[in-house]
Structure formats: C-alpha cells, structure tokens
Amino acid sequence: MSLVLGLDSSTQSLSAVILDTEKGIVMANHSVNFGEDLSHYSQPHGYDETGERGEVHSNPLMWLEALDLLLTQLAEGNIDFSKIEAVSGSGQQHGSVYLKANFNDVLEGLTAQSDLKTQLANCLSRFSSPIWMDSSTSEECAEIAQAVGGNEVVCSKSGSVAVERFTGPQIRKFAETDPDSYAETGTIHLVSSFFASILAGKTVAIDHGDGGGMNLMNLSNLDWDQDLLDATAIGLAGKLPPCAPSNSKSGPISHYFVKKYGFSPTCETIIWSGDNPCSLIGMGAASPGKVVISLGTSDTLFAAMPAPKTDPNGFGHVFGNPAGGYMSLICFKNGSLAREAIKEKYELNWNSFEKDALSQTPAGNNDLMMLPFYEPEITPAIDTEGPVFSSDHHYSSGEAVRAVLESQFLNMRAHSDWLGVSPSRIYLTGGASENDGIAQVVANVFGVPVDRLDVPSSATIGAGMRAAHGLGEDLDDLESKFSKPKEGLTVEPDPTACDIYNEFLPKFKAFLAEQFTS
C-alpha cells in the first residue's frame, strides 16, 4: 500500500491530504476556502448569512465547484493522481442534499469536457442545503418526538433526542413547507454520501457514523427506523440510500475523474463519514478507553463505545464508530469563552493564568465553585447570564481561574459517566491544550494521563486513514503513524489531587442540581 487521498468538506472549506501509508507521512495537503476562492457565491463563511429564524443553508453547487477547483490545483502542483489507490472523505455532519430521480443517470453520463456544477445543477430538487448551524426546526423536533412517544423514545432509538440541526427534522420541515419539491425528490443525501456518490459515479450508502446524526437510524440494528421515518415525512424510506458500515467499498472511482484528472481506473472509493466520526479516527481514539477532549470555542468530548448506550438526560449523542461499534460526542458550549472571560476580568495573560493563578490555590479550591456558563449551556441545558458562584466569597484571581477550570472539567466528568467507559488516557487537543496547567487539571479530575495531540486537520487525516482501512490496512498501525501525541508532553495525574476530586465531584453535582431547581 502506498498513497491514499482523504477529503473533508467542512463548513468553510474543502480540504485534501495525500497520505503515504507505507512511510507514514503526509505527502500533500491543500484546501479551497469557499469565501476566498469562490467569492461569487456570496457565502463568505461557507453559508448564506441572510437566513431568517435560525435558517442556515449552503449552496451545494459551490461544493461541486470546489471539488473541481481543489483537484485542478492539486494537479497543477504536480500531484500524480494515477498513484492514488483509494479515496474517502469526511463531510460536515447533519447537512443534507436533495436530488431528483435523474441523479444516478447524470452521474453515469458525466463527461470530462464539462464540470460537475454544470452537469449536476439540473439534478437538484432543492437549491440550498441546510447545515449543522440551522436551528429553525424546533416545531418539527417536537412533532417527531410526540409521534413516537417522546424524546426518550427518539433517544433510545437514534442515540439523540430530536435536535434542530439533525437531518430528520430538517427533512420534515422541507416536506411540510415545500411539498411539491419534496415529492420531486428522488434521493436525499448527507453531505458525506453526496460527495461519495459523485466520486463513485453512482448513489452510495450512508455510513453508520454519519447516519447516526440524523434522528433516523436505529442504533440497535444500524438501519433506518421505520417509526422515526414515518414520524418524519411520508415516503421517506424510498428517498434514503441504505445504511452501511463505514469501511464499505463503493467501487472504482468514476470515469469522470479518470479522464479529467488522471486517476487510475482501479482507484477504490470508500464511502464517506461525518466530520466528527472521521475526527475520532484521525485523533487515534477509535478504540474504547481513549477519550479525546477538544478545547475550543465550545469544548467537545469524543469517546469510542463498545455498545450503543444512550445518555438518559439527552445531552450527549451517539453515532456509529467508523472503526466498528459506536462513539459518543458531548458538546459543552461554554469552552474558551469562559476561560477567556476570567483571564480578561483579572487582567491575566495565559502564562500567569497557568503558573501564577493555579499555583496560588489548592486542588478543590477550598470548596469554591462556579458554573462557568457565560452563555446558555447545552450540557446540561441551563440558561444563565454570566457565571453562578457557590458562595458570596470575593474570588481572587487564582481562585477564579481554578474555579472555572475545575468546574468545566468536573462538568465534563459528571456528564460523561453515562458512557460506562473508564478512560485509560485522555488526548487533549485545541489551542488551550498547550497550557500545562490546564492539562494538569484535566489529568487530576479524570485521574488518568493526558497526552497532547499533534494532528492538524484531524477530520481530513481521519478520512485518509479510513481510505487505507477500507483497503484492509490495520487501523492500529495507521494510528501509530498519523495520530501521534506530542513527545515529552504527557501529563501524569497527581494521586492526592485525584482523591480530592473524587470526593469533590458529588458536591459539584449537588451545586449544579441546585441551579435546575432555583
């Protein structure tokens, strides 16, 4: 095995990496930015910013033009596509594309003398695609939940309560607001399966990873759930591709890419997955026991799961794991926002935030806590205006820093217990992962070593790894080559601090519960 291509269609760009899996190196990487490189679509951040009442849509023709542009630019950079043995990809999760019944026929008849956008424009039954940022389907979520007996049923079946951005509620809204266009729709694809179909030259399956983010797939049998389909839209079962394992081959690459870009006709296409499942692979956390915490504007916890256990509170989500089995994703909206608010309030820099402030206070912070929610939180679902403190005590800078960090990671621990997975290591990524003090608090709260990941563009890397895995390469071997933690930066837990946090956790849970009842 040698070269594989991984693609990632994210909110703002379409990216590519070429991995040499024998040598364990990234041979090339390139990206097309929708706002900068395709400005004529007037979507500077990759989506239409004029939507009303929570609607956020993108133009699927822009995505098609981006694919041609990306491959053209790679070819102009002397990339020899004939050496690529397999290709797979990652798509922004939950986004959907609506296509007429002629889609397959047009794919089969694609000609290299024209481009994808021109040839496929007439296949769209809907000229915009709702994406993960769309929050306009609250009514549809409630209707779906009511039809099947409540959100507890939706969650037990699909792995998540009915969520506004998920594909099922988006489909229901389309069917109700534009029934004629819905009737004209022959196939509904996710962003991932749409791109995978174009590469394969035929409609291909939706993988278990991305399918889990639709409120339509039953986790127990990894197939469409008839009750959820019926609750969503009439005739939906006939408009969805089948579900399939994430390492499924979908055949050789379309003749369009062979003729236009010089791909080998034997290049295999592997069905795509969502960006979150691909990130799980790219970050080396495909097996249970490895937990990834991504520190960003929102903080996110990823973990592989051996069984489809669901969050009884409905905050976490469960998808199919591209490596087999299942994965969870739990999002905490108040991430860097809360940390930066404390830093600015006490006029600290990141160096003093770590060394001076944390060194002034003990683990447990003398029972001083806060709810670090500067905006309404989603895990747990709680609406606060600024942080809630556990006492009227005037917090010093050190106490405030420790309070925000301990509260954030105790909240993560409290709301990931339902996974039933005891982490053996935590992989920390994102900008704040560089901070040793933050990493130490994570290690102490969870009681396991913390590694810092050095995996830029984890979804794109994960897509490339999945291409190789689809051809039979060992995933553990691929992880050892492309998902390496940074050397010399492992943080070990302090046993004394771990004991303190084990005793402190029930106090924090009680403090948190008070806010729901106050």
- The average confidence (pLDDT) of the chain is 94
Dihedral in degrees, nearest 10, Cα atoms 280, 286, 289, 291: -10
By CB atoms closer than 10 A (0-12, 13-18, 19+), residue 420 is: exposed
Confidence category of residue 149, pLDDT binned at 50, 70, 90: very high
What lies within 8 Å, CB to CB, of 360 at 6+ separation is 396, 397, 398, 399
Task: Specify whether the CB–CB gap between 200 and 251 falls below 8 A.
Answer: yes
Return the pLDDT at 416: 94
Return the pLDDT at 455: 76
Return the pLDDT at 353: 83
Confidence category of residue 360, pLDDT binned at 50, 70, 90: confident
Task: Specify whether the CB–CB gap between 321 and 277 falls below 8 A.
Answer: yes
Name the β-bridge partners of 89. 7
Question: What residues does each domain of the chain span?
Answer: 3-277, 285-454+487-518
What are 218-241's pLDDT values in tens digits?
999 999 999 999 999 999 999 999
Identical fold for domains 3-277 and 285-454+487-518, yes or no, is yes
CATH homologous superfamily for 285-454+487-518? ATPase, nucleotide binding domain (3.30.420.40)
Q: Which of 298, 273, 285, 262 is nearest to 421 (CA)?
A: 285
pLDDT at residue 456 tops 80: no
Q: Looking at this protein, which amino acid is placed at residue 438?
A: I
| Fold adopted by 3-277 | Nucleotidyltransferase; domain 5 (3.30.420)
Give the pair of three-digit tokens for residue 380: 């747990």
Lowest-pLDDT range of 94-103, 133-142, 390-399: 390-399
What lies within 8 Å, CB to CB, of 8 at 6+ separation is 14, 15, 16, 89, 90, 91, 275, 278, 457, 459, 460, 463
Confidence category of residue 368, pLDDT binned at 50, 70, 90: very high
What are 326-359's pLDDT values in tens digits?
999 999 989 988 999 999 999 998 888 877 788 8
Return the pLDDT at 1: 52
What are 48-58's pLDDT values in tens digits?
989 888 999 99
pLDDT at residue 442 tops 60: yes
- Percentage of the chain modeled with pLDDT above 90: 84
Confidence category of residue 518, pLDDT binned at 50, 70, 90: low
pLDDT at residue 514 tops 90: no
pLDDT at residue 376 tops 60: yes
What are 107-130's pLDDT values in tens digits?
999 999 999 999 999 999 999 999
What is this structure's pTM? Answer: 0.92
Q: Which of 284, 252, 251, 120 is nearest to 189 (CA)?
A: 120
The residue-averaged pLDDT of 175-182 equals: 98
pLDDT at residue 484 tops 90: no
Helix, coil or strand: residue 243: strand
